[in-house]
Structures are given as structure tokens and as C-alpha cells.
Amino acid sequence: MTKPPLGSTMRLVRPVPNVLGFYDGRIDGVRAWSDEPNWLDDGAYALGICTYAVVDGSQALVYDTHVSLPHARYVRQTLEDMGVSSIRVVLSHWHDDHIAGNEVFQDCEIIANKLTASALANNRTEIEGGIPPIRPLVLPNRTFEGSLDLTVGSIAVELRQVEIHSHDGTVLFMPGTGLLLAGDTLEDPITYVSEPDRLAEHLVDLGRIANWPIDRILPNHGSPAAIEAGYDKSLIAATQGYVQKLLRCRHEPDLARQDLKTFGADMFATGAVGYFAPYDAVHRQNVEAVIATGTGQ
């Protein structure tokens, strides 16, 4: 495995007007941090990760600060080179690969919902001592509950709190274009189950967002080509189907033994998501986590 300097394999994508994507990872034979297990490579870089910025004139709203300080510096420098002089940050949720670059934006407004702020504060020791460490962890300095309406230049954006993937999700919806920046609430090809005892609640909110007037979806994890084109609402349906099937694993041992290609054959056939081999391990972890939480749901 080769290990280039952090941030050196970043790709800038422009999926829609006024939105930049900062994509890294999904490169054969390349790891970003080390050959040993670590959250940066195994939870983000190997799977492919993209953070975003909504830009209008001199204003930008950065949606997640990426997986390292060099990545975050690249994001900030790119925006400043475009003439941006006012930057605000929104955190989609509290997981490491979305908040690792916060320090680069510590002089900016960093917005999160109250559950994200609490999770970061409560897990500071583990986050700062992780592999790799995020030290110092810079906490959000503005919080909200439920929803928050903002403008970036002339562009209206709505931050909406959801419980999908994690208890503290924040998605960013642009009502003028129907664009949803989804964070980890939606993922191609499968969701990464981090709170298996809450999957039934996640399904409730997946049903809720399915009713929103969404035209295009940009998740943080997915194929770079699909992100450049944008996903449609079939990504929501694929996620719903996968989670429903995962819950059946508690009662159907044969289903629980299936590999990802077999388990997800129906959703791959629709073209909503595409099989990607590094997610085999994610699927196995998902199944084990769901079974371990028992049969209560």
C-alpha cells in the first residue's frame, strides 16, 4: 500500500452550480494514514468521502470539515482563492471523519445541532486520543434544535435535524433547487450502522425525508462519478430497503449469512447504488451489530 501526503489525492468536483465537492479516497492500493486499522482509512478514505461548500459571491457555508487538517486547509484555501471572505461551517454529525478539520475553521462560526455538540463534548477524550488523534477537538460555537434557516449570499438553505445513521444528524436542504446534502444519512452503496439499536427510528426519518421535494442528493460517501452527477431519491428507497432487510437478520439466519452482493442484489439491480468491494466488511459489521442488539425490534 502506498501512503501519499494527507490531502494530496483530493479531487475538486462541481456537481451543481454554487456547490463544490471536496472528494478523496476510493483509490486502489492507497491508504491515507497507515496500513493498520484506523478510522480515517477504514471508515472514510477506503470508502470515498466528499465534503461540500455552498458558495455565493464572498460567502461560503462548509458542510463538514473533512478527515484531517491538510484536507480542511485545502477546502479553506480553495474558497479563499475564489474570493470568499466569509465562511461558516455546518457539522452533519459528530463522527471523526466529519469533524477532523474543525481546527482550521476555529475562527469561523461552527454550527451544529445540540445533540452533535453534546456528543462531541462527551466523547472529547476518545476523539482526541483516537487513531489518528483529532487534537485539539474544536467544538461548535453555535447550536440549534430541529431546524435552522440560513442564507449564503442570495441562496436559502435549511438545516434539518434527522435521526438516520446517528442520533444527531443534520442535513442541508436547498429549497430553491431541491438539493439535499445528506451527510451520512444516505450512503452508496449501504448505510454504515453506527447505532444498531435505533434502526427502527432511522426508518421513520427515512420515510420522512422521502416525502421532501428533493431533486438531487449528495451524500458524503459514494462513488465520485455518481456524486458528480448527483443521486436521485432512489438512494433513499435503497437505504430503506437495506435497513429493513438488516432487521430481518435477527430472525433469519440464512439471510444473515449472505455476502453483500447477494444480500443487496435487488438494490444493485435498480442502479440506485453500485456494489463496491470495501463495503463487504461494512456489511458484515452491520449484520453482526444488528444481531448483537437482540430481537426487540
Instruction: Flag whether pLDDT at 294 surpasses 80.
Output: no
Span 217-244, pLDDT tens digits: 999 999 999 999 999 999 999 999 999 9
Q: Which CATH class, in words, describes the domain spanning 11-292?
A: alpha beta
So what's the pLDDT on residue 295?
53
Ranges of each domain in the chain = 11-292
Distance between CA atoms of residues 84 and 86, nearest Å: 6
Instruction: Flag whether pLDDT at 106 surpasses 50.
Output: yes
Closest CA to 180 of 223, 226, 236: 236
So what's the pLDDT on residue 296?
45
Which 3 state secondary structure label does DSSP give 167?
Answer: strand
Span 162-189, pLDDT tens digits: 999 999 999 999 999 999 999 999 999 9
Instruction: Flag whether pLDDT at 297 surpasses 50.
Output: no
Average pLDDT rounded to a whole number, residues 17-46:
96
C-alpha distances out from residue 205 to 43, 120, 176, Å: 23, 22, 22
Indicate whether this model's pTM tops 0.95: yes
115 band by pLDDT with thresholds 50, 70 and 90: very high
267 band by pLDDT with thresholds 50, 70 and 90: very high
1 band by pLDDT with thresholds 50, 70 and 90: confident
The count of other CB atoms within 10 Å of the CB of residue 83 is 10
Closest CA to 32 of 52, 11, 8, 63: 8
